[in-house]
């Protein structure tokens, strides 16, 4: 197998990035392990020159892997497998809770074991793997439920949608693939407002299990030093903060941080959460920001839901509430490389395109919307290895 020099230098670059993560002193954190995994996948694809890699016959059947995962989680197979460490279970035992046919279980488990979600310990007998445990987590089960209640239908219609619109990028001013698939004028979020069961799976499932920015961002130096030591001053506003996970994590990690914490979102989302020590404020982020002069305005996974025009409007509303020389904007989002995106980064960008006409952005794309909103880009902060970054801006 020949590897040409361009491929070789790309492979060398990927190995260098992997080494940089593994060589950092101390234990490997969960987010570093995620980075190692993602980079390894890119490396594997870069190094695999076999013709079969490009036309794997299983490729066009990948949707059935997701379907088998959903059926297995519905049957609580992963809960059973992980109930007792090291124990083996027969197909009949795995099917028992929901009276499922053993032959059906064997057929589902062929796929699950081949994909590493369980292992065979004998004929029609299975035990757990680390991936089995991951499939018992609410993020996984809710994420799969959300895929089946909402996202798969959009993917199915998307080739037809893009053919009809002549393969252009879309914006919110026209129909989205989501609206086309559901024949609705509601946006993705408006549909969820009407269907609370879908909203629950979305909030509980879409958040990936990656580590948080608080693990690596210099919070003390950049946000707490210089913050007003006044119990009435607002330290952090989280716009579209969902159930307040980021605020809760911040408060837990910095219990002595001064000032108030404000969670802003739509009323129906706020109704489903209560976090101690955090004020809830129903607010539409396309309208004037009511909390003036906070130390920082944080958003996580918000601007990637919206096209440039809407994202600029959100940023302008934040800018109008900021105090010059004091307030900061902290955007917690993917910062895509110009080349060499991981499969996850590519897929999450496509998800944004299909569901919202949103997008994951490169540095240049971030810079351009920040400047269009009248803000100054202060710095791109990247996590060690791989993961979501922080885009910092000020007035």
Ligand X SMILES: C[S@@+](CC[C@H](N)C(=O)[O-])C[C@H]1O[C@@H](n2cnc3c(N)ncnc32)[C@H](O)[C@@H]1O
- Active-site positions read 304
- How far apart (Å, rounded) are the C-alpha atoms in residues 95 and 115? 20
User: Could you tell me whether strands 279-282 and 260-265 are parallel, antiparallel, or unpaired per DSSP bridges?
Assistant: parallel
User: Judged by CB, which is closer to ligand X: 207, or 260?
Assistant: 207
To ligand X, the closest distance from the beta carbon of 188 in angstroms equals 9
Closest CA to 216 of 253, 252, 248: 253
CA atoms lying within 13 Å on the CB side of residue 214:
14
Q: Which CB, 10 or 296, lies closer to ligand X?
A: 296
Cα distance between residue 385 and residue 20, in whole Å: 7
Shortest separation between residue 174's beta carbon and ligand X, angstroms:
19
Q: Which is nearer to ligand X, 286 or 380 (CB)?
A: 286
Q: How far is the CB of 237 from ligand X (least distance, A)?
A: 12
CB 203, min distance to ligand X, A: 6
Bridge partners of residue 120, in order along the sequence = 126
Question: Are the beta carbons of 146 and 205 closer than 8 angstroms?
Answer: yes
Question: Closer CB to ligand X, residue 295 or residue 300?
Answer: 300
The minimum distance between CB 241 and ligand X, in angstroms, equals 5
Nearer to ligand X, 17 or 245 (CB): 245
Judge contact between 334 and 348, C-beta under 8 A: yes
Of 136 and 266, CB closest to ligand X = 266
Half-sphere exposure of 162 (CA within 13 A, CB side): 12
Q: Specify whether the CB–CB gap between 330 and 301 falls below 8 A.
A: no
Distance between CA atoms of residues 90 and 77, nearest Å: 11
12 CB burial (10 A radius; 0-12, 13-18, 19+):
exposed
Nearest approach in angstroms of CB 301 to ligand X is: 4
Q: Which residues bind ligand X (CB under 6 A)?
A: 189, 207, 240-242, 245, 265-266, 269, 284-286, 300-302
Residue nearer to ligand X on the CB measure, 128 or 266 = 266
Rounded to a whole number of angstroms, the minimum distance from the CB of residue 362 to ligand X is 20
Q: List b or e across 340-377, with b for residues whose CB sees 16 or more CB atoms inside 10 angstroms.
A: ebbebbeebbebbbbbbbbbbbbeeebbebbeebebeb
DSSP 3-state assignment of 109? helix
Q: Which residues pair with 239 in a beta bridge?
A: 264, 299
């Amino acid at each position: 197998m020949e590897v040409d020099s361009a491929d070789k230098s790309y492979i060398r670059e990927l190995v260098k990035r992997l080494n940089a993560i593994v060589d950092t002193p101390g234990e490997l954190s969960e987010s570093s392990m995620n980075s190692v995994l993602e980079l390894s996948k890119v490396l594997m694809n870069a190094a695999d020159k076999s013709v079969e890699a490009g036309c794997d016959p299983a490729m066009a059947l990948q949707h059935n892997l997701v379907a088998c995962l959903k059926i297995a989680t519905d049957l609580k197979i992963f809960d059973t497998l992980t109930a007792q460490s090291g124990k083996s279970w027969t197909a009949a035992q795995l099917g028992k809770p929901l009276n499922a046919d053993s032959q059906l279980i064997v057929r589902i488990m062929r796929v699950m074991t081949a994909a590493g979600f369980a292992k065979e310990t004998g004929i029609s007998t299975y035990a757990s793997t680390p991936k089995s445990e991951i499939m018992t987590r609410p993020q996984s089960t809710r994420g799969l439920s959300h895929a089946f209640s909402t996202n798969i239908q959009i993917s199915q219609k998307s080739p037809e949608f893009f053919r009809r619109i002549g393969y252009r990028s879309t914006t919110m001013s026209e129909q989205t693939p989501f609206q086309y698939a559901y024949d609705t004028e509601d946006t993705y979020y408006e549909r969820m407002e009407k269907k609370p069961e879908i909203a629950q799976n979305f909030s509980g499932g879409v958040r990936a299990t990656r580590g948080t920015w608080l693990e690596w961002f210099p919070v003390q130096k950049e946000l707490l030093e210089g913050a007003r030591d006044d119990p009435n001053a607002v330290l952090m506003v989280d716009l579209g903060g969902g159930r307040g996970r980021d605020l809760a994590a911040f408060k837990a990690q910095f219990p002595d941080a001064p000032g108030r914490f404000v969670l802003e979102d739509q009323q129906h989302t706020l109704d489903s959460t209560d976090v101690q020590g955090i004020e809830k404020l129903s607010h539409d982020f396309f309208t004037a920001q009511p909390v003036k002069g906070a130390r920082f305005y944080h958003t996580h996974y918000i601007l990637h839901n919206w096209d440039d025009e809407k994202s600029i409007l959100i940023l302008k509303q934040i800018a109008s509430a900021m105090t010059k020389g004091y307030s900061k904007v902290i955007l917690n989002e993917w910062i895509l490389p110009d080349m060499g995106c991981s499969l996850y980064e590519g897929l999450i960008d496509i998800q944004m395109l299909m569901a919202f006409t949103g997008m994951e952005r490169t540095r240049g794309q971030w810079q351009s919307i920040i400047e269009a909103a009248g803000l100054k880009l202060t710095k791109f902060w990247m996590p060690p290895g791989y993961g979501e970054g922080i885009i910092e801006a000020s007035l």
